[in-house]
Amino acid sequence: MARVPRRKVTVIGAGNVGATTAQQIIETGLADVVLVDIVEGLPQGKALDLAEAAPVIGYDVRIVGTNDYADTADSKIIVVTSGIPRKPGMSRDDLIATNATIVGGVVKAAAAVSPDAIIIVVTNPLDAMCHVAMRASGFPKERVIGMAGVLDSARFRSFIADELEVSVRDVRAFVLGGHGDTMVPLPRYSTVGGVPITELLSPERIEQLVDRTRNGGAEVVALLKTGSAFYAPAASVVEMVESILRDRRRVLPCAAYLDGEYGVRGLFCGVPVVLGNGGIERVIEISLTPDERAAFDKSAEAVRELVEHLPA
C-alpha cells in the first residue's frame, strides 16, 4: 500500500527564530519539518541534533535540514525567517533592500515547488516583507500572512498578567496595525477573565504597559546585545501553524493584505483574522473610536511608507 506522506512545514532560515520554530513544531508533533538555510551544514546540523532529541522527548515526526528547495516540495506551510539583522551603520533602506532580495529569492524558490502552500512571513521589516512574499509567490492574499500581532499581543498579555498577578491563560489582548512602533493596542478589547483591563488598571498604567509592548522587541535586543528575540516569535508562529493545520479557525491578530477592510486598500496591516485550512478565512472588522481610527491610519501610513521604499 502506498504510504500517505505526512504534512510538511518548511522553515526557511535556520537561525534563532527558524530553528526554534522547527523545534516547537516537531515537539508538538504537528508536521514533518524541512529546515532550509543558505549556509551549508547549518540546517543539516541543527536538524540532526533535533532528530537525535526525538527518542528522548518522544516525538515521531521527521525533521531534515537542507540547502536545496527540491526537498521542500509539497509543503502545506512555508515559514520565512531568512534575512539579516540591522547592523550598526546600516540605514533602514539598506536593510529593506537586502532583506527584500533575500525574502524574494527564497519565496520564489519555495513557492515554485509548493504552489498550494500558505506562507507565513516573519522576517523584518515585517509588513514590507509580506508584500515582497506576495509579489514573489504570486499567491492570493488568503495565503500570505505576516506574524506580528500574535507576538505583540503575547507581550502585552504577559505584562498585564504580571501586573495583575493572574494567569496569562486568562488574559486576552487585542492589537491592530503595523509591527512595533506603530502598533495599536485596544485596551477596551483587552480582557482578564472577560473583564476589560480598563476596569482593572488606571489609564496611566495601561499606557505604560502599552509602551513596553511597543518596545518589546527593543527591550530584548538591549539585553541580548547580539541578537533579537526568538522564543516568543517562534511560539507565535507555531500558534498560527497549528490553527491552519488543524483548521482550528482561531481568531488571531495577523498581518493581512487589506482590500478595503478598515478603509485600507492594497496594504498589509495587522488585523484580527480567522486562520484555518485555507489560510486567512476571513478578516474580522470592528468599529473603532476616533482615537483608535487615527492611530490605525497612522500605522497604515507607516506601512505604506515602508512599502514605497521597497526596490521595484
Would you please indicate which residues are annotated as catalytic (active-site) residues?
179
Among 100, 121, 122, 144, binds ligand APR (CB under 6 A): 122
CB 31 within 8 A of CB 245: yes
Selected range binding ligand APR among 15-23, 183-191, 204-212, 277-285, rule: CB under 6 A: 15-23
Among 10, 32, 65, 83, binds ligand APR (CB under 6 A): 83
Selected range binding ligand APR among 11-19, 54-62, 113-121, 162-170, rule: CB under 6 A: 11-19
In 10 A of CB 47, how many CB atoms? 24
Q: Which x/- pattern, by CB under 6 A, does the window 16-55 give for ligand APR?
A: xxx------------------xxx--x-------------
Among 10, 66, 75, 123, binds ligand APR (CB under 6 A): 123
Among 15, 178, 180, 279, binds ligand APR (CB under 6 A): 15
Q: Which H or E element spans position 64?
A: strand 63-66
CB 29 within 8 A of CB 58: no
Nearest to 308 by CA among 100, 138, 141: 100
Query: Backbone dihedral region of 41: left (phi > 0), alpha (psi from -120 to 50 degrees) or beta?
Result: left
Q: Tell me the three state secondary structure of residue 22.
A: helix
For the bound state, the minimum distance from the C-beta of residue 250 to ligand APR, rounded and expressed in Å, comes to: 21
Nearest to 110 by CA among 13, 15, 41: 13
216 interacts with ligand APR by CB under 6 A? no
> Which residue type, as a one-letter code, is found at position 132?
V
Cell of 102: 533575500
Which CB sits closer to ligand APR, 10 or 190? 10
Report the site for ligand APR in 228-287 (rule: CB under 6 A): 228, 230, 233
Cell of 4: 500517505
For the bound state, the minimum distance from the C-beta of residue 120 to ligand APR, rounded and expressed in Å, comes to: 11
In 10 A of CB 53, how many CB atoms? 15
Q: Which residue is nearest to ligand APR (CB)?
A: 15
Q: Which x/- pattern, by CB under 6 A, does the window 219-238 give for ligand APR?
A: --------xx-x--x-----
Nearest to 17 by CA among 37, 2, 31: 37
Q: Tell me the three state secondary structure of residue 280.
A: strand
Which CB sits closer to ligand APR, 216 or 276? 216
| Interface residue list for ligand APR (CB under 6 A) | 12-18, 37-39, 42, 81-83, 85, 102, 105-106, 122-124, 227-228, 230, 233
